[in-house]
């Protein structure tokens, strides 16, 4: 059965919203199958399902971020939800300081507050009017750094792109999390043979937004070449030393914590609790999506 005929599949895995121009492009690209037999196509070194590739191309053509906007980047299942929670809390802490009970993370999923570019805003050939969004706006993406930069710098009158924060999660945990997600997605418990097929595909780099190492290295090198605009964070280091890592992030975003804030106030909020920097190793965030988005 074709992906477009699978009603339970998320839209980004399907092939039913692709322009003729993109179909022509796809016909010329290297292709392979994921472990479930769905087609992936390699565009500029990364693997995409057809609908995802269409959305990525639309982002590259139409996305015009403002200089103060922020892009969060990660691989699927690589710490995206947590990164969104932290950055949103850091950036907006002053706004909710007097009335913390009104903080959006008490009632909304992080994915509702920090939308995905290619999986939500530009999915289905949409072209959102970003001028209607508050500034600074936080966006999220799973795109390779080179692909993202082609979108963020194409129309800028300045050489300075907006800030990019990348989180890297270890390959083993990223893969295992992806495996559990695919089990949930297909609504059946997949067998050992399916696990081995997915493991083999992951090792070969044939997975959405893969290969893993090329994706991670693009942001690592980017952070070394342009530390003013690209911050590389490790998921495991955030857990190990949350105070230091959140301080790094706040300084990078030009909103550093004051000494008084660090000593007296909770600085990060998750869905139903606030945490001081010392308690940040308890990542209390929702696992479920709301709305059309279904890839973390």
Tens of pLDDT along 229-257? 999 999 999 999 988 999 999 999 999 99
Contact 81, 111 (CB under 8 A): yes
Say which CATH superfamily domain 3-17+28-279 falls into: P-loop containing nucleotide triphosphate hydrolases (3.40.50.300)
Tens of pLDDT along 167-224? 999 999 999 999 988 888 776 667 788 899 999 999 999 999 999 999 999 999 999 9
- Could you tell me the CA-to-CA distances from 223 to 108, 119, 138, 192, 250 in Å, in that order? 31, 25, 19, 38, 16
Question: What does pLDDT average to over the chain?
Answer: 86
- Summarize the confidence of residues 273-277 as an average pLDDT: 40
Question: How is the beta sheet containing 46-48 ordered, strand by strand?
Answer: 31-33, 39-43, 46-48
Q: Domain ranges in the chain?
A: 3-17+28-279
Candidates 92, 103, 111, 142; catalytic one: 142
Residue with tokens 């991670």: 216
Is 144 among the residues known to form the active site? Answer: no
């Amino acid at each position: 059965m074709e992906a477009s005929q699978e009603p339970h599949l998320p839209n980004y895995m399907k092939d039913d919203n692709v322009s003729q121009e993109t179909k022509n492009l796809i016909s010329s690209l290297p292709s392979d199958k994921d472990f479930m037999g769905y087609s992936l196509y390699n565009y500029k070194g990364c693997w995409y399902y057809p609908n995802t590739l269409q959305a990525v191309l639309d982002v590259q053509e139409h996305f015009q971020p403002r200089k103060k906007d922020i892009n969060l980047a990660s691989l699927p299942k690589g710490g995206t939800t947590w990164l969104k929670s932290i950055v949103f809390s850091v950036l907006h802490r002053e706004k909710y300081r007097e009335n913390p009970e009104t903080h959006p993370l008490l009632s909304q999923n992080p994915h509702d507050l920090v939308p995905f570019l290619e999986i939500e805003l530009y999915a289905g050939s949409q072209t959102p009017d970003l001028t209607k969004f508050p500034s600074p706006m936080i966006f999220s993406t799973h795109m390779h750094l080179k692909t993202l930069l082609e979108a963020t710098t194409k129309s800028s009158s300045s050489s300075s792109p907006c800030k990019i924060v990348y989180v890297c999660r270890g390959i083993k945990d990223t893969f295992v999390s992806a495996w559990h997600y695919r089990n949930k997605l297909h609504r059946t418990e997949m067998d050992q043979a399916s696990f081995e097929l997915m493991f083999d595909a992951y090792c070969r780099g044939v997975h959405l937004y893969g290969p893993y190492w090329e994706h991670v290295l693009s942001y690592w090198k980017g952070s070394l070449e342009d530390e003013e605009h690209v911050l590389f964070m490790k998921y495991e280091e955030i857990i190990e030393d949350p105070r230091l890592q959140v301080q790094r992030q706040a300084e990078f975003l030009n909103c550093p914590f004051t000494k008084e804030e660090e000593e007296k106030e909770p600085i990060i909020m998750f869905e139903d609790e606030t945490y001081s920097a010392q308690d940040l190793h308890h990542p209390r965030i929702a696992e479920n999506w709301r709305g059309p988005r279904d890839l973390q």
